[in-house]
Amino acid sequence: MTYFVLSDIHGDADCLKTALGCWDKENAAYQDKHQQDVNAPKELPILCLGDLLYHGPRNSIPAGYAPKECASILNEYGRLFTVIRGNCDADVDQMMLTFPIMAEYMILPLAGQGRLVVTHGHHDPASYFLKAEDVLLTGHTHVLKAVKKPLDQGGYTYLNPGSISLPKEENPRTYAMLEGRTFTVKTMDGGTLLSYDF
């Protein structure tokens, strides 16, 4: 399984265009790598961890804030998107988009042991009954991270790609590649900030 992972767009059309430019490059590499694999998707799937159009009451308005334009761009790529609902996503956002965005979470199998539990990150992780072999992939905090939690905190692996539009804690704008059991966080110019095997 290989995914282009992004989170927390918050209606910033300029940052979304930049992220999709990164997707173009990653997709070309993906297609080269998987051209002989008849079971692989023809294009690199995009996994979005929520907060698509609205900036939210706790965030500044992004410089490229244009939610209507953002919706139009997202609809062009909608066939590639699997989206988890963020805390800033609402029914009106779903009305603007041609693909589903309201799933609260998703569970995917992992190679080997465990599950990949995908959610926005604004709910208590305990509600997903995580085990030590599981991986929790979230957005929401706008802070990139990859860490194995201590056993007294569940022992699961926690991954976060950061935000493409409103990064926090002095992080740059980022996206991630999830390839098998490797999570790589990259800057918008393609530089690798973190590579984590789990």
pLDDT tens profile 45-80: 999 999 999 998 888 999 999 999 999 999 999 999
Q: Is the pLDDT of residue 152 over 90?
A: no
Angle of helix 67-77 versus helix 13-34 axis, rounded to 10: 10
The reported pLDDT for the residue numbered 83 is: 98
Name the CATH superfamily for 2-197.
Metallo-dependent phosphatases (3.60.21.10)
Residues with Cβ < 8 Å from 10, sequence gap 6 or more? 51, 52, 53, 54, 55, 56, 59, 62, 65, 88, 163, 165, 166
Residue range 77-96, pLDDT digits in tens: 999 999 999 999 999 999 99
Residue range 158-181, pLDDT digits in tens: 999 999 999 999 999 999 999 999
- Rounded to the nearest integer, the mean pLDDT of the chain is 96
pTM comes to 0.95
* Confidence label for 122 from pLDDT (cuts 50, 70 and 90): very high
Q: Where are the domains of the chain?
A: 2-197
Tell me how far apart the alpha carbons of residues 169 and 141 are, in angstroms, rounded to a whole number: 10
Tell me how far apart the alpha carbons of residues 91 and 105 are, in angstroms, rounded to a whole number: 16
User: Cβ distance 117 to 132 under 8 Å?
Assistant: no
Q: Buried b vs exposed e over 86-120: b needs ≥16 C-beta within 10 Å?
A: bbbbeeebbebbeeebeeebeeeebeeebbbbbbb
Give the single-character DSSP code of 126: G
